[in-house]
Amino acid sequence: MNLDNNSSAKAAYWKENIRLIMTLLVIWFVVSFGFGILLVDVLNQIKIFGYKLGFWFAQQGSIYCFVVLIFVYTRKMEALDRKYNLHEDE
């Protein structure tokens, strides 16, 4: 599928791209704001290796989650580019 002359394919590509971005942003918001701030007291009752889980999410977990989401986004965008024949293979 080539996007050069196909406006419906362009719209579908961007719709899937925006859906992916919004999904990943919601996950990041839940992990960073939800786990690190809103649910910190509940999560702090759980300890892993001596550290409170809520504190861990606030200090490190959201950063790890962000890095994982970057890799997920890269993989998903490569698949999306292949689906719409926009990939750059050498």
Mean pLDDT of 72-82: 95
Tell me which residue has tokens 């809103």.
38
Tell me the residue type at 77. M
Task: Flag whether pLDDT at 86 surpasses 90.
Answer: no
What is the predicted pLDDT for the residue at 1? 58
Mean pLDDT of 70-88: 91
- The answer, yes or no, to whether residue 90 has pLDDT greater than 70, is no
Q: Is the pTM of this model over 0.85?
A: no
| Cβ–Cβ under 8 Å, residues 62 and 54 | no
Residues 28-46: pLDDT tens digits? 999 999 998 999 999 999 9
DSSP at 77 = H
Q: Where in the chain are the domains?
A: 20-84
